[in-house]
């Protein structure tokens, strides 16, 4: 009887917590990403359509990396701009519930090939700085959602700057899986689902058409919402 009472209390507590959770449509979402998120009808746009255009700040930028400066373009280095992203989220939404981080394809460019080994460490630095930002302000840590890079086509398909990016993004995705498990973050594994099928919706092996971005957005919802 005692065990039954305990289980009933536990069930009631879980139901109360579920009832207090903020619906996805109303969650304050900050997106940190690259061109696939910045595109006019990219995956972020499609995600907004799926959730009914709730509060969202999209800092995704074409060419954005986790931690590399591309030809002097510091604005494309998330480690250099993270604080401004987080501050913008608070300024525009009054708070942040979720941070969706979808980066890595540009870090895997051929020009950075001698530094690809630094990418996982840069990711850890990014996540640690994010945690520190909120801890130093005495604020609750938002929910972190990590997104693997979408599959990249073979070298024969992509432009010269992305040669070798397929293998690099596969390795990075393995690191993202480990990181998500260790830190307890939700993972959207685009490498696994939709996997290479998404490349049918791409002309250059890197970017996607509107249907492709819709597929990616739906996987975000399935995986983490």
Angle subtended at Cα 203 by Cα 202 and Cα 206, rounded to the nearest 5 degrees: 60
Distance CA 200, CA 138 (A): 46
pTM of the model: 0.90
Phi first, then psi: what are they for 103, rounded to 5°?
A: -135, 170
Show the tokens assigned to 88.
């913008």
Distance CA 75, CA 81 (A): 7
What is the residue-wise DSSP string for 111-128?
GGGGGGGGHHHHHHHHHH
Residues with pLDDT less than 70, the chain: 1-20
pLDDT value of position 140: 95
Residue keyed to tokens 């490498």? 191
């Amino acid at each position: 009887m005692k065990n039954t009472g305990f289980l009933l209390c536990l069930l009631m507590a879980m139901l109360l917590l579920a009832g207090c959770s903020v619906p996805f449509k109303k969650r304050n979402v900050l997106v940190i990403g690259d061109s696939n998120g910045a595109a006019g009808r990219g995956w972020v746009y499609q995600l907004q359509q799926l959730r009914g255009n709730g509060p969202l700040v999209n800092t995704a930028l074409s060419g954005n990396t986790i931690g590399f400066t591309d030809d002097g373009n510091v604005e494309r280095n998330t480690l250099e701009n993270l604080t401004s992203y987080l501050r913008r989220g608070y300024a525009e939404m009054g708070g942040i519930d979720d941070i969706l981080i979808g980066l890595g394809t540009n870090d895997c460019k051929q020009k950075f090939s001698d530094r690809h080994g630094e990418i996982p460490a840069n990711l850890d630095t990014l996540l640690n700085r994010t945690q520190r930002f909120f801890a130093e302000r005495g604020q609750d840590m938002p929910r972190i959602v990590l997104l693997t890079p979408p599959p990249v086509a073979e070298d024969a398909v992509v432009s010269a700057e992305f040669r070798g990016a397929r293998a690099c993004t596969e390795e990075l995705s393995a690191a993202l899986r480990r990181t998500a498990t260790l830190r307890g973050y939700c993972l959207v594994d685009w490498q696994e689902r939709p996997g290479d099928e998404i490349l049918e919706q791409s002309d250059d092996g890197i970017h996607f058409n509107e249907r492709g971005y819709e597929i990616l957005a739906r996987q975000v919802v399935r995986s983490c919402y």
